[in-house]
Each structure stands twice: as structure tokens, then as C-alpha cells.
Amino acid sequence: MFYIILSMETKSANQISRELGRDYESVLNFVREVQELAKRIGGIRLEGICEADEVYLNSGDKGVKEENPRKRGLSVKGRGTYEGDRPPVMTLVRRSDGMTEFVVMNDIRKAVEEIRSRASKDCVIITDNYPAYDRLDPIGMNHMRINHSERYADGDIHVNRCENRHSFLRSFLPRLRGVSKRHLQEYLSFLALLINMPTSWFSTLLSLTMPR
């Protein structure tokens, strides 16, 4: 238990099971239990100035057999869709303390609902010019935009902290040697916990998994 939780930061369940000489399925099941705990204690309230930005990750149906395998999204660049194995992920960052949440989206057009469900009355949300955020203005949210075709920052109007979090995504996921989109949210919730609780994530998860 101790070694598995500690290793989840840098290793896949397959690698951990080989190192421990334990059954892969039993290790994977425990990893998913820990990820569910991270998901349960994660999530943020959008208060004060916050940022939202989207990124598209290569993630298919790893481990699911298909009668007629289709071309995966791994060779596709740019924007994508959940169905096309390149699910959109909305990154949310609260500037006051850097707290972060990653939200795997089946449909990026529902970004406004996800933001509104987390936003307090004093929230000022900053996004880029992507049309998915257009409806933030009609529903009365304090919304500011940066047009990336012109510049990446205009004073305090930018999504640079979200871009920083995307760098964590790009370094974290390749270590896992492929993640199914069906479980992508759990992996990203675990990553968010690493970011939000850099010195206490391990002790927090260990305390929650120890027998009572």
C-alpha cells in the first residue's frame, strides 16, 4: 500500500505490479481506489480572479477490444473530441492560491455550465476567445478575454497559469504509457492533488487508505 501510493506519482500500475511481483489487476484496482479518493477530496470553488482554458489530450479506449478497430487520435493534432479519442480537458486555476482542477469534458460546449457550477458571486473568470465561453457573458458572469491571435497577455488578462498547468499534464501522462479516456478524469484528479497539496498529498491519501 505504502509503495503503491508513493509510486503513483511517476509510475504506471503495470510497472508497479512488476516491481512488486504482484498481480496487475489487484494493483490496478487499488490505484483506482486511490484515484477515486483524490477525486473525492479535489475540486475547487472559483473565487476572486480565476482562469479557464482548454487542452486536448490523446486518450482512447485502452484495454477495450473493438470488433473494427478505428484509427486512434494519437496522430491527430489541434482540437479534438471525446468520441475521436482526443477528449477536451478544461483547466481551472484560482489565482489567489493557485488551486487547480482538471475537468474532462464529453462536450467542450458545456464549459459554461461547469464554470458556473463552481463560481462564487465575486468570481472574475478569464478565458481566451474560444467560442465555448461565449455564453458566460449572457448569464451575467464577470468575464474577461484575451485574444491569442493578437497577444498572450494584456496586463493581468491572461491564462498563463492554466498554460503552466498544461505543462504538468504533458509531463505526467506519458509516464503512464497510455490512459483510457474512461479513466482519464481519475488520473487528472490525482494530478491536481499533487499540484494542490505538493507536500501533503501522500500523507493525506495514506491516512484515507489505512485500515480503521
- Residue 30's CB: how many other CB atoms inside 10 A? 19
- The percentage of the chain sitting over the pLDDT mark of 90, rounded to a whole number, equals 79
pLDDT in tens, 9-19: 999 999 999 99
The answer to whether 112 and 135 are in contact (CB under 8 A) is: yes
Structural Rg of the chain based on CA atoms: 18
Residue 72 has pLDDT above 70, yes or no: no
Residue 9 has a pLDDT of 94
Return the bridge partners of 92, or none.
52, 101
pLDDT in tens, 96-139: 999 999 999 999 999 999 999 999 999 999 999 999 999 999 99
Position 175 confidence tier, pLDDT thresholds 50, 70, 90: confident
DSSP class per residue in 2-64: HHHHHHTTT--HHHHHHHHT--HHHHHHHHHHHHHHHHHH----B-SEEEEEEEE-----TT-
Residue that wins the pLDDT comparison between 138 and 71? 138
Q: What is the mean pLDDT of residues 181-186?
A: 94
Report CA dihedral (114, 140, 109, 187) to the nearest 10 degrees. Answer: -20
pLDDT in tens, 31-43: 999 999 999 999 9
Contacts with 34 (C-beta within 8 Å, 6 or more apart), sequence order: 4, 5, 8, 190, 205, 209
**Average pLDDT value over all residues in the chain:** 90
139 DSSP 8-state letter: T
Distance (Å, whole) CA 56 – CA 58? 7
Strands 124-128 and 49-56 turn out to be parallel
The answer to whether 73 and 87 are in contact (CB under 8 A) is: no
Q: pTM, whole model, 2 decimals?
A: 0.89
Contacts with 39 (C-beta within 8 Å, 6 or more apart), sequence order: 185, 186, 189, 190
Q: What is the mean pLDDT of residues 85-104?
A: 96
- From residue 30, alpha-carbon distances to 4, 35, 36, 204 in Å are 8, 9, 10, 16
Residue 20 has pLDDT above 60, yes or no: yes
Q: What is the mean pLDDT of residues 144-170?
A: 95
Residue 121 has a pLDDT of 94
Contacts with 183 (C-beta within 8 Å, 6 or more apart), sequence order: 32, 35
